[in-house]
Structure 1
Amino acid sequence: MSNSAYRWMVAVPAFVVVAAFGVYLGTTHGAPTALDRSVMDTVTGLRTPTLTSVIKDVTVIFSPVAVTIWTALLAAVLVWRDRSLVRALPVVATVAAAGIVGEAIKLAVSRPRPPAIDQLGAVEATYSYPSGHVMGTTALVAAAVSVCAASVGARVAAGCLAAATVVVCAATRLYLGAHWVTDVLAAICVGVGVALVVPVVLAAVIGRLAPHLPAWVGVPAANAGSKA
């Protein structure tokens, strides 16, 4: 099985699950599931003033604005190293696509945030499903692993670090009561799915346009690794 086929085989079910649960939420007006309520009750029982202060600071690192900045910085470094857009384009395109897809899902599902009584700090009133923080972070770290880790060992190590980053991001959103756990799980599915398929689509499109593009643009590969 080709790498591209494998990517689609993983991404499509992830998108289907997110869409199916979104339809379910539409029929229940976004009501929390038993799992949502159970996780929220558990998390609120773990709150302390010190931990809350730390997590409020940490969650800012994963905000949509911060993810945009991290994406721009990584893209700039990759362009500087490669002297082309070959690795920067998939990273930027993946994060941008995740933002567009996520916003479309939010508007389509229109799930309310958890009650204000469950939230810490400024009450967030925008739509809840899926989590923008988690989705953007997942898309960015997954894209970074794809283009920056060449060897199997490097991919495993980078993948573990990326997974830990996503877990921390998700934990901050749950702790602060900004999202239900199903919002977070859906965000991870969308972020991973987009990170898998966007490089494939981008490589195909630029491959067709390559004869008309300057050489420094390059042709991004779906599974590009770092240069030696």
Structure 2
Amino acid sequence: MPRRTVIKWFVAVAASLKLGDAQVFGAEPGPGEPVITANGYGKDPLLNHTHNPGDLWPLTLSPTQRAAAIALADVILPADNLGPAASQLRCVDFVDEWVSAPYPAQLRDRGIVLPGLDWLDAESGRRFANVFAGLTLSQQQAICDDICFQARAADELQAAARFFSRFRSLAAAAYYATPEGWDAIGYVGNQPSLTYDGPPEAVLAHLGVEQTVA
């Protein structure tokens, strides 16, 4: 998918991160999946302490699910002239932490993402006799094309399409929280300025206002 399409999703990431859909797949852990029992950060987290993955709660993705997630993230956010692939920025580390966290929204997403990744491998096996991470890019894209837009997905693929939408939002959130992701969209952050030049004339004209502060 074109990265410029993904960039359009970025503006909706903040809102989409609030959209958990526990009804897509069952929220109960499947056979062999760890049950989250950690209490989380609590009311007074140690913000000056660096936590390593797994310090606060057990990570959830199995090696097979992680491989599928890395491959899917790279289909959604491939390397191009604007930036590196999602795998190079370890976006799946964020996804794994997210679905492992013991909070309501994250637990809902855990019930979407984990079964969705399992479905991805099962569908890959059905179509191409291999796991998703072992497919060619064109084969991976063929599956993604069927689930990347829920409005066009077949009835039997609606749950998979909702999984794809949720995973895409999480992967984009991870990607565009990195310096490399900022560069991809031209975000420079807060920059000090010795002068105040005011808003550009085009912005003032669009708003129909006049600059009055010298």
Q: Fold-level match, TM-score > 0.5?
A: no
Higher relative CO (CA 8 A, sep ≥ 6), structure 1 or 2?
A: 1
Structure with higher Rg: it is 2
More helix by share: 1
